[in-house]
Chain A
């Protein structure tokens, strides 16, 4: 017996509105392709370039708890800000971030990363110096590679010391697109 789309949506919206969901997620259409976007009551929790929910559910449950549910309403704010960003109308994201499950070093790196301005780039070594750990460039690279909220936490703005783009967990072509959008390339 098929559950109608209306009934399905009605339950999902009610669950989010009543605050019963640990992590809500949905697939958001962007110029970079479909993104899976997830948010908890603490804020934006994840953005994935792999939009297949089946691959992401366990990961999302480890971030925020077992009550993981797909819901358009859960990511309304994130969808709006991402739309504005890709349309060139937003340079700074105002979304609160859920960094609860991350170790302190990672959090300190990501907070510094968040300060790299729109349209500018920095290097792994530069970021290491800014958190007072000048020899931690390699560890910074690992944090960038595992950044679970790309785009909003702008790891695409971190490049190699020679100016090479180096790499991007979402694929180098996406890093190029983001830097082009921001006028940094």
Chain B
């Protein structure tokens, strides 16, 4: 006998179609994330950052609208975790811009616009306009507050406007 499942079940089922199970995503990207973090932080600090990266990803994962560009998304999170760790380690030091390979934004369409933005602003703009995440989700992914995420995104957009006008 068939009966419609409850609405929240339908939501879960539709989401399951849109984004892959986290286990598959994690297994596919964990080596690359660890490589990036070791390159940025060294072997020991990379382990904490690895865990932090995937915990942040997990917190935001069920609110993703789609499963496109997950590699860029998780590398962006890893990059921000690394930046946070470096800031804690050398609060006064000038941070080096990350390499283009790991810092490429999610959507190719906006890559040429977001290249050159400061990392936090770039991540916020990419997650807002590349992934259509709301500021609460972006805050979760970046480990900041929704207000700070909104601020970073709007500052990034203003910077882009100034550059192309």
Contacts and interface: CB of A to CB of B under 8 A. Distances in A.
Interface size class of B (residues with CB under 8 A): 20 to 34
Contacts of A81: none
A18 to B, nearest CB: 7
Interface string B1-36: 111111011001101100111111010001110110
A77 to B, nearest CB: 20
Interface string A51-68: 001000110111111111
A173 B59 CA distance: 43
B12 A67 contact: no
A62 B12 CA distance: 6
Contact of A11 (B20, B24, B31, B51): B51
Counting chain A CB atoms within 10 Å of each CB, the highest count among B16, B50, B54 belongs to B16
Nearest to B3: A103
A100 B9 contact: yes
A57 B51 CA distance: 22
B10 to A, nearest CB: 9
A32 interface: no
Interface residues of A, number: 35
A63 B61 CA distance: 16
B47 interface: yes
Nearest to A11: B51
A99 B30 CA distance: 32
B58 interface: yes
B1 A3 contact: no
A139 B3 CA distance: 13
Given A3-B31, A11-B50, A62-B13, A20 B21 contact: no
Nearest to A107: B3
A66 B61 contact: yes
Given A64-B12, A102-B5, A7 B50 contact: yes
Nearest to B8: A100
A63 B10 CA distance: 10
B51 A105 contact: no
Contact of A7 (B2, B4, B35, B47): B47
A39 interface: no
Contact of A22 (B5, B47, B62): B62
A41 to B, nearest CB: 13
A9 B79 CA distance: 22
Given A1-B31, A100-B9, A7 B51 contact: yes
A57 B9 CA distance: 17
Interface of B: 1-6, 8-9, 12-13, 15-16, 19-24, 26, 30-32, 34-35, 38, 47, 50-51, 54-55, 58-59, 61-62
Given A11-B54, A58-B16, A103-B5, 14 more contacts: A1-B38, A3-B31, A3-B50, A7-B51, A10-B47, A15-B58, A20-B59, A66-B22, A66-B61, A67-B22, A69-B23, A69-B26, A69-B58, A100-B9
